[in-house]
Protein backbone atom coordinates (compact mmCIF):
# COMPACT_ATOMS: atom_id res chain seq x y z
CA UNK A 1 0.00 0.00 0.00
CA UNK A 2 1.31 3.46 -0.85
CA UNK A 3 2.65 5.82 1.77
CA UNK A 4 -0.28 8.17 1.12
CA UNK A 5 -2.96 5.47 1.39
CA UNK A 6 -1.40 4.25 4.63
CA UNK A 7 -1.62 7.76 6.01
CA UNK A 8 -5.25 8.13 4.93
CA UNK A 9 -6.11 4.85 6.68
CA UNK A 10 -4.28 5.86 9.81
CA UNK A 11 -6.09 9.18 10.10
CA UNK A 12 -9.53 7.88 9.17
CA UNK A 13 -11.84 8.00 12.14
CA UNK A 14 -13.03 4.50 13.04
CA UNK A 15 -16.74 4.78 12.27
CA UNK A 16 -17.40 7.62 9.91
CA UNK A 17 -15.71 8.72 6.73
CA UNK A 18 -14.18 11.77 8.42
CA UNK A 19 -10.41 12.08 8.00
CA UNK A 20 -8.22 14.08 10.33
CA UNK A 21 -6.52 15.98 7.52
CA UNK A 22 -4.28 18.38 9.38
CA UNK A 23 -2.18 15.82 11.31
CA UNK A 24 -2.14 13.67 8.19
CA UNK A 25 -0.60 16.45 6.09
CA UNK A 26 1.84 17.27 8.86
CA UNK A 27 2.86 13.61 9.05
CA UNK A 28 3.47 13.83 5.29
CA UNK A 29 6.13 16.52 6.04
CA UNK A 30 4.14 19.39 4.53
CA UNK A 31 4.60 21.59 7.61
CA UNK A 32 2.02 23.34 9.76
CA UNK A 33 1.48 26.37 7.53
CA UNK A 34 0.78 24.53 4.29
CA UNK A 35 -1.20 21.81 6.10
CA UNK A 36 -3.50 24.42 7.68
CA UNK A 37 -3.93 26.21 4.37
CA UNK A 38 -4.76 23.03 2.47
CA UNK A 39 -7.21 21.79 5.11
CA UNK A 40 -9.06 25.12 4.91
CA UNK A 41 -9.19 24.67 1.17
CA UNK A 42 -10.57 21.11 1.47
CA UNK A 43 -13.23 22.41 3.86
CA UNK A 44 -14.21 25.27 1.56
CA UNK A 45 -14.59 22.80 -1.27
CA UNK A 46 -16.56 20.37 0.91
CA UNK A 47 -14.06 17.57 0.29
CA UNK A 48 -13.03 16.56 3.81
CA UNK A 49 -15.30 13.50 3.84
CA UNK A 50 -14.36 12.33 0.40
CA UNK A 51 -10.81 10.92 0.38
CA UNK A 52 -10.73 10.24 -3.38
CA UNK A 53 -11.83 13.72 -4.38
CA UNK A 54 -9.68 15.28 -1.67
CA UNK A 55 -6.65 13.41 -3.00
CA UNK A 56 -7.34 14.53 -6.57
CA UNK A 57 -7.69 18.12 -5.35
CA UNK A 58 -4.44 17.96 -3.35
CA UNK A 59 -2.58 16.37 -6.26
CA UNK A 60 -3.64 19.24 -8.43
CA UNK A 61 -2.62 21.85 -5.84
CA UNK A 62 0.74 20.21 -5.29
CA UNK A 63 1.49 19.89 -9.00
CA UNK A 64 0.78 23.59 -9.55
CA UNK A 65 2.88 24.57 -6.55
CA UNK A 66 6.01 22.59 -7.37
CA UNK A 67 6.01 23.09 -11.13
CA UNK A 68 9.06 25.17 -12.04
CA UNK A 69 10.06 26.95 -15.20
CA UNK A 70 13.18 25.54 -16.86
CA UNK A 71 16.23 27.50 -15.66
CA UNK A 72 17.53 30.18 -18.00
CA UNK A 73 20.70 29.09 -19.75
CA UNK A 74 23.82 30.73 -18.30
CA UNK A 75 26.03 32.06 -21.09
CA UNK A 76 28.88 33.06 -18.83
CA UNK A 77 31.84 30.68 -18.46
CA UNK A 78 32.36 29.05 -16.15
CA UNK A 79 28.85 28.60 -14.78
CA UNK A 80 29.31 28.27 -11.03
CA UNK A 81 27.27 26.15 -8.60
CA UNK A 82 27.96 26.57 -4.88
CA UNK A 83 26.75 23.70 -2.69
CA UNK A 84 25.91 24.36 0.96
CA UNK A 85 24.17 22.48 3.74
CA UNK A 86 24.31 20.90 7.16
CA UNK A 87 26.74 18.09 8.07
CA UNK A 88 26.28 14.86 6.21
CA UNK A 89 23.41 16.04 4.01
CA UNK A 90 25.08 14.71 0.87
CA UNK A 91 26.94 17.75 -0.50
CA UNK A 92 30.10 15.99 -1.64
CA UNK A 93 28.18 13.06 -3.14
CA UNK A 94 25.85 15.51 -4.90
CA UNK A 95 28.86 17.44 -6.27
CA UNK A 96 30.06 14.16 -7.79
CA UNK A 97 26.61 13.27 -9.12
CA UNK A 98 26.15 16.70 -10.70
CA UNK A 99 29.65 16.54 -12.16
CA UNK A 100 28.99 13.13 -13.70
CA UNK A 101 25.64 14.23 -15.07
CA UNK A 102 26.82 17.45 -16.70
CA UNK A 103 29.97 15.81 -18.00
CA UNK A 104 27.80 13.22 -19.71
CA UNK A 105 25.83 16.09 -21.23
CA UNK A 106 29.04 17.36 -22.81
CA UNK A 107 30.14 19.99 -20.31
CA UNK A 108 33.72 20.39 -19.10
CA UNK A 109 33.52 20.28 -15.33
CA UNK A 110 35.86 21.46 -12.59
CA UNK A 111 35.50 20.79 -8.86
CA UNK A 112 36.40 23.18 -6.03
CA UNK A 113 36.96 21.44 -2.67
CA UNK A 114 36.22 24.34 -0.32
CA UNK A 115 35.60 22.01 2.62
CA UNK A 116 38.93 22.53 4.37
CA UNK A 117 37.47 21.74 7.76
CA UNK A 118 37.76 17.95 7.75
CA UNK A 119 41.04 16.36 6.66
CA UNK A 120 39.24 13.68 4.66
CA UNK A 121 36.89 16.05 2.87
CA UNK A 122 39.17 17.11 0.02
CA UNK A 123 40.30 13.50 -0.41
CA UNK A 124 36.67 12.42 -0.79
CA UNK A 125 36.08 14.88 -3.63
CA UNK A 126 39.49 14.12 -5.13
CA UNK A 127 38.59 10.42 -5.22
CA UNK A 128 35.43 11.28 -7.14
CA UNK A 129 37.44 13.55 -9.42
CA UNK A 130 39.85 10.73 -10.24
CA UNK A 131 37.03 8.30 -10.83
CA UNK A 132 35.13 10.68 -13.10
CA UNK A 133 38.12 12.35 -14.75
CA UNK A 134 37.22 15.76 -13.33
CA UNK A 135 40.02 18.04 -12.08
CA UNK A 136 39.82 19.23 -8.49
CA UNK A 137 41.22 22.35 -6.85
CA UNK A 138 41.87 21.61 -3.17
CA UNK A 139 44.05 22.75 -0.30
CA UNK A 140 45.44 21.54 3.01
CA UNK A 141 42.99 21.28 5.94
CA UNK A 142 42.71 24.59 7.75
CA UNK A 143 43.18 26.70 4.61
CA UNK A 144 40.70 29.57 4.26
CA UNK A 145 37.79 28.03 2.26
CA UNK A 146 37.17 31.34 0.49
CA UNK A 147 40.70 31.29 -0.92
CA UNK A 148 40.24 27.72 -2.20
CA UNK A 149 36.95 28.71 -3.81
CA UNK A 150 38.65 31.63 -5.57
CA UNK A 151 41.55 29.44 -6.68
CA UNK A 152 39.09 26.92 -8.10
CA UNK A 153 37.39 29.72 -10.06
CA UNK A 154 40.70 30.87 -11.49
CA UNK A 155 41.70 27.29 -12.33
CA UNK A 156 38.37 26.64 -14.05
CA UNK A 157 38.76 29.85 -16.07
CA UNK A 158 42.34 29.00 -16.94
CA UNK A 159 41.50 25.52 -18.17
CA UNK A 160 38.42 26.68 -20.08
CA UNK A 161 36.03 24.57 -17.98
CA UNK A 162 32.43 25.67 -18.45
CA UNK A 163 31.04 24.39 -15.19
CA UNK A 164 32.53 24.80 -11.71
CA UNK A 165 30.97 22.95 -8.78
CA UNK A 166 32.15 24.10 -5.35
CA UNK A 167 31.71 21.82 -2.34
CA UNK A 168 31.72 23.39 1.13
CA UNK A 169 31.96 22.11 4.70
CA UNK A 170 28.83 21.00 6.52
CA UNK A 171 27.58 23.53 9.03
CA UNK A 172 24.66 23.72 11.41
CA UNK A 173 22.15 26.33 10.38
CA UNK A 174 22.07 27.91 13.85
CA UNK A 175 25.83 28.58 13.99
CA UNK A 176 26.03 32.19 12.97
CA UNK A 177 29.82 32.33 12.43
CA UNK A 178 29.74 29.30 10.14
CA UNK A 179 27.03 30.88 8.04
CA UNK A 180 29.07 34.09 7.89
CA UNK A 181 31.98 32.05 6.55
CA UNK A 182 29.75 31.02 3.63
CA UNK A 183 29.01 34.68 3.00
CA UNK A 184 32.75 35.27 2.80
CA UNK A 185 33.16 32.49 0.22
CA UNK A 186 30.44 34.08 -1.88
CA UNK A 187 31.82 37.61 -1.63
CA UNK A 188 35.35 36.48 -2.44
CA UNK A 189 34.09 34.81 -5.63
CA UNK A 190 32.14 37.96 -6.51
CA UNK A 191 35.28 40.06 -6.19
CA UNK A 192 36.66 38.07 -9.14
CA UNK A 193 33.45 37.80 -11.19
CA UNK A 194 30.52 39.86 -10.00
CA UNK A 195 27.80 37.49 -11.20
CA UNK A 196 29.03 34.25 -9.60
CA UNK A 197 27.94 31.92 -8.13
CA UNK A 198 25.03 31.62 -10.56
CA UNK A 199 23.48 29.00 -8.31
CA UNK A 200 23.63 28.57 -4.54
CA UNK A 201 21.94 25.30 -3.73
CA UNK A 202 21.05 23.91 -0.34
CA UNK A 203 21.75 20.19 -0.26
CA UNK A 204 19.22 18.84 2.22
CA UNK A 205 18.70 15.33 3.56
CA UNK A 206 15.10 14.31 2.81
CA UNK A 207 15.10 12.07 5.88
CA UNK A 208 15.20 15.25 8.00
CA UNK A 209 11.57 15.80 7.03
CA UNK A 210 10.11 19.24 7.60
CA UNK A 211 13.39 20.21 9.35
CA UNK A 212 14.58 20.98 5.81
CA UNK A 213 12.27 24.00 5.82
CA UNK A 214 14.00 25.58 8.83
CA UNK A 215 17.42 24.81 7.32
CA UNK A 216 16.33 26.47 4.09
CA UNK A 217 15.10 29.54 5.99
CA UNK A 218 18.40 29.96 7.85
CA UNK A 219 20.68 29.42 4.87
CA UNK A 220 18.49 31.58 2.64
CA UNK A 221 18.57 34.43 5.09
CA UNK A 222 22.33 34.14 5.59
CA UNK A 223 23.53 33.82 2.00
CA UNK A 224 20.58 33.80 -0.39
CA UNK A 225 19.78 30.42 -1.93
CA UNK A 226 18.62 29.91 -5.50
CA UNK A 227 17.34 26.36 -5.07
CA UNK A 228 17.62 22.97 -3.41
CA UNK A 229 18.70 19.44 -4.04
CA UNK A 230 16.92 16.98 -1.74
CA UNK A 231 18.88 13.78 -1.10
CA UNK A 232 18.20 10.35 0.41
CA UNK A 233 14.72 10.02 -1.06
CA UNK A 234 15.49 6.36 -1.77
CA UNK A 235 14.41 5.62 1.82
CA UNK A 236 11.03 6.16 3.42
CA UNK A 237 10.98 9.95 2.94
CA UNK A 238 8.63 11.17 0.22
CA UNK A 239 9.73 14.79 -0.03
CA UNK A 240 6.69 16.54 1.46
CA UNK A 241 8.99 19.40 2.48
CA UNK A 242 9.59 20.27 -1.18
CA UNK A 243 6.15 21.92 -1.63
CA UNK A 244 6.50 23.45 1.86
CA UNK A 245 9.80 25.15 0.95
CA UNK A 246 8.39 26.26 -2.38
CA UNK A 247 5.29 27.74 -0.71
CA UNK A 248 7.12 29.60 2.04
CA UNK A 249 10.39 30.66 0.43
CA UNK A 250 9.59 30.38 -3.26
CA UNK A 251 12.66 28.16 -3.72
CA UNK A 252 12.52 25.41 -6.33
CA UNK A 253 14.04 21.96 -5.93
CA UNK A 254 16.08 21.10 -9.00
CA UNK A 255 17.28 17.56 -8.30
CA UNK A 256 16.41 14.58 -6.14
CA UNK A 257 19.02 12.18 -4.76
CA UNK A 258 17.90 8.58 -4.71
CA UNK A 259 21.02 6.62 -3.81
CA UNK A 260 24.76 6.85 -3.40
CA UNK A 261 25.96 6.27 -6.97
CA UNK A 262 26.70 9.07 -9.47
CA UNK A 263 23.70 8.04 -11.58
CA UNK A 264 21.28 8.26 -8.62
CA UNK A 265 20.45 11.90 -9.23
CA UNK A 266 17.14 12.74 -10.87
CA UNK A 267 16.05 16.01 -12.34
CA UNK A 268 13.02 17.24 -10.41
CA UNK A 269 9.87 16.91 -12.47
CA UNK A 270 6.55 18.03 -10.95
CA UNK A 271 4.36 15.31 -12.50
CA UNK A 272 6.47 12.34 -11.47
CA UNK A 273 7.18 13.87 -8.04
CA UNK A 274 3.46 14.14 -7.29
CA UNK A 275 2.79 10.66 -8.64
CA UNK A 276 5.53 9.24 -6.47
CA UNK A 277 4.17 11.10 -3.46
CA UNK A 278 0.62 9.78 -3.72
CA UNK A 279 1.02 6.36 -5.38
N1 LIG B 1 20.88 6.51 0.38
C2 LIG B 1 21.44 7.67 0.01
N3 LIG B 1 22.60 8.04 0.57
C4 LIG B 1 23.15 9.20 0.18
C5 LIG B 1 22.54 10.04 -0.78
N6 LIG B 1 23.32 11.15 -0.94
C7 LIG B 1 24.37 10.98 -0.11
N8 LIG B 1 24.28 9.81 0.58
C9 LIG B 1 25.20 9.26 1.59
O10 LIG B 1 25.20 10.10 2.71
C11 LIG B 1 26.49 10.11 3.34
C12 LIG B 1 27.00 11.53 3.48
O13 LIG B 1 27.24 12.03 2.18
P14 LIG B 1 28.30 13.17 1.88
O15 LIG B 1 28.19 13.49 0.44
O16 LIG B 1 29.64 12.82 2.40
O17 LIG B 1 27.68 14.35 2.76
P18 LIG B 1 28.28 15.79 3.01
O19 LIG B 1 27.14 16.72 3.07
O20 LIG B 1 29.34 16.09 2.03
O21 LIG B 1 28.91 15.59 4.46
P22 LIG B 1 29.90 16.62 5.25
O23 LIG B 1 30.90 17.08 4.25
O24 LIG B 1 30.48 15.79 6.34
O25 LIG B 1 29.03 17.72 5.76
C26 LIG B 1 27.37 9.23 2.46
O27 LIG B 1 27.42 7.94 3.01
C28 LIG B 1 26.64 9.22 1.12
O29 LIG B 1 26.91 8.07 0.36
C30 LIG B 1 21.28 9.63 -1.36
O31 LIG B 1 20.64 10.30 -2.19
N32 LIG B 1 20.79 8.43 -0.91
MG1 LIG C 1 31.28 16.73 2.28
120 exposed, middle or buried (CB, 10 Å; 0-12, 13-18, 19+)? exposed
Q: Is the CB of 93 under 6 A from ligand 1?
A: yes
Say whether the peptide bond before residue 185 is cis (omega within 30 degrees of 0).
no
As a whole number of angstroms, the distance between CA 89 and CA 110 comes to 21
Report residue 146 CA to chain centroid gap.
22
Residue-wise pLDDT for 60-118, tens only, equals 999 999 998 887 788 899 999 999 999 999 999 999 999 999 999 999 999 999 999 88
What was the pLDDT predicted at 14? Answer: 67
Q: Which atom of ligand 1 is nearest to the CA of 258?
A: 31
Instruction: List, in order of start, the domains of the chain with CATH numbers.
Output: 3-66 (no CATH), 79-268 (3.40.50.300)
- Considering the chain, what is the average pLDDT of its residues? 94
As a whole number of angstroms, the distance between CA 263 and CA 189 comes to 29
Q: Which atom of ligand 1 is nearest to the CA of 85?
A: 19
- Pocket perturbation via mutation, ligand 1, pick of 85, 170, 212, 260 by most ligand atoms within 8 A of CB: 260
Report residue 241 CA to chain centroid gap.
10
Q: Which residues of the chain have pLDDT under 50?
A: none
Longest dimension (CA), the chain: 70
What was the pLDDT predicted at 53? Answer: 94
Coil, strand, or helix at residue 72? coil
165 C-alpha to center of ligand 2: Å?
13
What was the pLDDT predicted at 217? Answer: 96
As a whole number of angstroms, the distance between CA 222 and CA 14 comes to 47
Cα–Cα distances in angstroms (integers) from residue 155 to residues 16, 147, 159, in the given order: 66, 12, 6
What was the pLDDT predicted at 16? Answer: 62
Amino acid sequence: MSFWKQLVNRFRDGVGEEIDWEPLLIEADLGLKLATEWVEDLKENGLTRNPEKAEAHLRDKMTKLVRIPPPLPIRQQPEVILLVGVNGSGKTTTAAKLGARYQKAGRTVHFGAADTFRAAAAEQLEAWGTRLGIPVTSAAPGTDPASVAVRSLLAAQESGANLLIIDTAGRQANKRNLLLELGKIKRSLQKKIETVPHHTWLIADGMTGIGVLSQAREFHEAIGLTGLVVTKLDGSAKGGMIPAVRAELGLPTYYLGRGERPEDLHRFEAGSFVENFFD
